[in-house]
Amino acid sequence: MIDRPAAAADPATLSVSVVVYRPDLDVLRATLDALGRSLDEAVEAGLLSSATFWLIDNGSDDSGTVDGVVARALGGRPWLALRTCRGHGNIGYGRGHNLALHATDAHYHLVLNPDAIAAPSAVAESLRFLADHPDTGWVTPRSRDEGGNLLHLCKRYPSVLTLALRGFAPRGVQRLFRARLYHYERRDLAQSAPTHGIEVASGCYMFLRRSVVGALGGFDPAYFLYFEDFDLSLRVGAVSSIAYVPSVEIVHLGGDAAKKGLRHSAMFLRSALTFFRTHGWKLW
């Protein structure tokens, strides 16, 4: 059963979780400052009554400094509770967010990367959309990089070849397969209106109907890092709709796995193997 506010005009409750591991403090500060502004706008618009922010600390070199960043960016709001989880070790991205997902009873939950800068209107637009579309379980935003280039968070079901080309092939080889990659990245999506029925969405900003994701058990703990968002996409999409809503805007500062070194490449490949074993192989 879908859980939502009693009436569309009633302000909602929200929980937000951010998982960090040895974070870049300047980037985290920018993320949380932007989140605070976006939460403020939703409260001022009468769409949000209260919220809880969860910092899931999988490992910080200076936890006191991290706590100070959170307090300065988000403190002083009587309607916003701050919670910190640490001491559990580096349990991975999805399992980290599950600590908050399993503890919240808010109407909605936002899974936010520590390098995703939400526009001031992002939370309000997400709340409006989900209140107006009770069959939608997940809102995914329009995302740009620091240079203003459009990123493509919405995907079709991946093939092994497409992932290899996109993640590891030289630029020249990627150009030869441009049509395939553009098809996978859903570059045909309208930018002036929402699109329902997204198959797979990347997870830097996942605005979720908590009752839907809660009934599914949250993230699958089999994924340490990478593909936990693809796995959750398919499970959410089986019981509700995922919508691309371009009026919800963010800037994402993250990079791809191949650029982060061999360790991240190995984690990417291991998670890809888990994903295909679970949901079915598509080689080409």
pTM over 0.85: yes
Of 4-13, 33-42, 106-115, 202-211, minimum mean pLDDT range: 4-13
Closest CA to 264 of 233, 227, 232, 231: 227
Q: Give residue limits of the domains in the chain.
A: 12-156+193-254
The topology (CATH level 3) of 12-156+193-254 is Spore Coat Polysaccharide Biosynthesis Protein SpsA; Chain A (3.90.550)
Residue 5's pLDDT band, with cuts at 50, 70 and 90, is very low
Q: What average pLDDT does the structure give for the chain?
A: 94
pLDDT of residue 62: 93
* pLDDT, position 4: 44
Tens of pLDDT along 34-71? 999 999 999 999 999 999 999 999 999 899 999 999 99
pLDDT tens by residue, 220-272: 999 999 999 999 999 999 999 999 999 999 999 975 555 667 898 999 999 99
Query: Region 72-97: what's the mean pLDDT?
Result: 98
